[in-house]
Amino acid sequence: MYTQESDGTESGETSAGDAVIAEVFSQRCADDPVTVYHEVHAQCPVHRAPGMFGGHSVHVSTYADVTWALRHTEVFSSKDVVDLGNDQPLIPLSVDPPEHRKYRRMLDPEFSPTKMAILEPEARALVNEIIDRFAHKGQCEFHEDFATPLPSTIFLALIGLPQTDLPDFLRWRDDTIRPEGNTPEEIEAKRQAAGQAINEYFVKALEEKRKHPDDRLLTRIETGEVDGRPLTQAEKLGICHLQLLGGLDTVTATLDCMIAYLAQHPDRRRAIVDNPELMGPAIEEMLRQQTPVMMVPRVIAQDYELNGVQLRAGDGATLLIGAANADESEFESSGEVRLDRETNRHLAFGGGPHRCLGSHLARMELKVSLEEFHKRIPDYEIVAGTEIHFSPGIRQADNLPLVFPVEA
C-alpha cells in the first residue's frame, strides 16, 4: 500500500515511482506493455506526483481501482477533460452524469447490436472489396492497405457520408491525434486547424442532411432531440467530432495489434482458422491482452483517498486501462492470450457511464474483418527482418508488411 509521501509530496519532491510511471508513456511500453504494467502494479499502483505542466497528476493502474474510478464520475470526472482542437464538448465523452444520460439515451440505440446486425452485410462487402485490392499480390502493408481504410470506410457508410471524403477525414484524424510539428506551438496549431476544418465540414454536411434526409446516422443527429428539444448546433458538432475521432482511429489500432499478434503466434492463428467458433473469444482476449487504447484521461472533481493515496480536487488523472487488463489479481497469466479463458471482464472499452458508445460497432467490425480476412488469407507472416513498433497511448503500428500465398 502506498502512502502520500511515497508518491510525491505537495512540495514537489520526486520518487522512484515517477520513473516507473514515466515508462507507461515510453516506446518500450507501447511495444511491450504487459511487462511495464506489472512493474507499475508492483511499485506504484496508485501514483500522485507533480505534473509536467504544473499541478499534480494521478495514475491509477489496478483492475479494482480503475473499475471503481470509471464508475465514480463524481470523483474521476470526464467533464471537458479532452482538448483536441474542439470548440465544443465532445458529446457524450466530455459530459458527466446526470446530463450525460440524456445524450446516451439518444445515441445508444444508434449503436445497438440490432443496428449493427443490419449494417453487418454491408460491412462484409466493404471488407472484401478492400481485400480484393491485394489478395492477388501475395503481400500487403496491412496498416495502410487494410487497417486504415476499413473502419473509415464502414464509418462513412454508417454515418452517411461519401467515400470520396475519406482522405480529408484521415488527414484530420492524424492532425488531431498524432499531429506532427517541431514545437508544441506548431503541434497545437495543427490540431486547432484540424478542429476548425472538422467543424466547417460538419456544418455543411448537417445542412445537406436537413435538406436531403436519409436513413443514416448523420441525419438522425441533425434531427435528434434531448429532453424533448432539438439538439443545438454546438451539441450536433460535438457529437460529430467525437464520432469522427472514435470511428476512424481506435479500430485501426486494434486491427494492427491483433494481426501483428496473430502473425507472430501462428498457433493462435491456426486455432481460429481451424475452429471459427473461437473467433469471438480470441477477439475478446486480444482486446484485453493487447489493449490498443492504453489509457483514458480524467480530472479529480473532489478530494478523495484511493488505495492509501490522497487525491486533490483539480488533479489531472490517467486511468491505465491497459494496466488494469494486465492485473494478475483479475486475469491469471495476464500476459498470455488464452482462448479458453472463462471469465474475461476486460476494460478495453472502458466501463461505467462512459463505457465506449461504439463498442458494439467495434466488435462487429473486428469480427467481420478478421473472419473475412482469414477466410481468404489464412496463412501470413510479417516480412522477415521487419521491426514493428507501436505508438504510445493508442497502439497503432508504424508499419505491418505481410506476405502470404496468392489467393487461389
Catalytic annotation, residues: 178, 249-250, 356-358
Give the SS3 label for residue 101.
helix
Residue 121 and residue 337: Cα distance in Å, rounded? 29
- Residues 118 and 198: their CA atoms lie apart, in Å, by 28
CB 403 within 8 A of CB 140: no
How many CB atoms are closer than 10 A to CB 243? Answer: 24
Whole-angstrom Cα distance, residue 76 to residue 302?
Answer: 8
- What's the sign of the alpha-carbon dihedral 87, 88, 92, 95? positive
Q: How far apart are CA 272 and CA 262, in angstroms?
A: 10
The answer to whether 236 and 224 have CB atoms below 8 angstroms apart is yes
- The amino acid occupying position 282 is A
The residue to which cell 484521461 is assigned: 297
Q: Provide the 8-state DSSP code for 389.
A: -
Is residue 218 within a helix (H) or strand (E), and if so which, with residue range? Answer: helix 217-222
Which residue stretches of 233-358 are H helix? 233-264, 266-274, 279-290, 321-324
Among residues 191, 122, 114, which one has the least CA distance to residue 154? 122
Q: Are 177 and 392 in contact (CB under 8 A)?
A: no
Q: What is d(CA 6, CA 1) in angstroms, rounded to the nearest whole number?
A: 10
Closest CA to 67 of 283, 302, 320: 320
Grid coordinates standing for 339? 482462448
> 298 in helix, strand or coil?
strand
Task: Specify which residues 402 forms β-bridges with.
Answer: 140, 382
CB 67 within 8 A of CB 350: no
Please choose, from the candidates 360, 281, 359, the residue with its C-alpha nearest in 3D space to the C-alpha of residue 117: 360
Alpha carbon distance 350, 223 (integer Å): 29
Q: Is 4 helix (H, G, I), strand (E, B) or coil?
A: coil
